Amino acid sequence: MIEETGNWEYSDKLSPTLLGRLYDTYFPRLYNYLSYRTTNREEAEDLTELVFERVIAKYHTFDPKRGAFESWIFTIARNALLNHKRQQFRHPESELTEWFEGEEELSPDRLFLKQEELHRLRHYLTRLNERERELIALRYGAELSQRRVGELLGMNEATVAVALSRAVRRLRVMFEGEEQPKETTPRKGRPKKAGKD
Partner 1 sequence: MKLWNRFLAKSNQETTLDQNPAERERDARFSAWLEEEGTFRASSKFQSDLRTRLLVQATTSPKSERSPSFSWFRLIPAGVGLVALLAFALILVSTLSSPASVELTQVAGNPALGTTPDLNGDKLNSVYDQATEDYLNLDETTTTLGFAPSLPQYLPPGYQVENVALTYGEPPTLPNRVRPPVISPIENVLPQPHGLQFQLTSLKAAESNHVQVYQLLTPATVEDSPHFNIQGAQRFTQQAVQGAVGYFIQGTRWRVAYSASVGAKMATPHPSPMLRNRMMPPKIKGTIGRMGMATMPSKLKASAKIAFSQNQANGSVANTFFIDFQPREDGKSARSLVWAKNGVLTVLVGGDSVTDDELHRIAESFKPISRHS
152 is a contact residue toward partner 1 (CB under 8 A): no
Which one of 32, 71, 129, 184 is in contact with partner 1 (CB under 8 A)? 32
Whole-Å CA distances, 187 to 28, 32, 53, 162: 26, 20, 28, 25
Q: Which letter does DSSP use for residue 141 in this model?
A: I
How many CA atoms lie less than 13 Å away from 56 in the CB half-sphere?
11
Whole-Å CA distances, 101 to 105, 126, 137: 12, 20, 19
Q: Name which of residues 158 to 197 contact partner 1 (CB under 8 A).
A: 158-159, 162-163, 165-166, 168-169, 171-172, 175-176
Does residue 150 contact residue 6 with C-beta atoms inside 8 Å?
A: no
In whole angstroms, how close is the CB of 44 to partner 1 at the nearest point?
7
Question: How far apart (Å, rounded) are the C-alpha atoms in residues 75 and 135?
Answer: 14
How many CA atoms lie less than 13 Å away from 41 in the CB half-sphere?
9
Q: Which stretch binds partner 1 (CB under 8 A): 4-12, 80-88, 134-142, 179-187?
A: 134-142
108 is a contact residue toward partner 1 (CB under 8 A): no
Which one of 114, 129, 185, 195 is in contact with partner 1 (CB under 8 A)? 114
Q: Name which of residues 65 to 104 contact partner 1 (CB under 8 A).
A: 100-103
In whole angstroms, how close is the CB of 32 to partner 1 at the nearest point?
5
Q: Which stretch binds partner 1 (CB under 8 A): 24-32, 70-78, 86-94, 185-193?
A: 24-32
Q: Is 181 helix (H, G, I), strand (E, B) or coil?
A: coil
117 is a contact residue toward partner 1 (CB under 8 A): yes
Whole-Å CA distances, 13 to 24, 53, 57: 18, 15, 11
Rule CB under 8 A: which residues touch partner 1? 14-17, 19-20, 23-24, 27-28, 31-32, 35-36, 41, 44-45, 48-49, 52-53, 56-58, 60, 100-103, 114, 117-118, 121-122, 136, 140-141, 143, 154-156, 158-159, 162-163, 165-166, 168-169, 171-172, 175-176
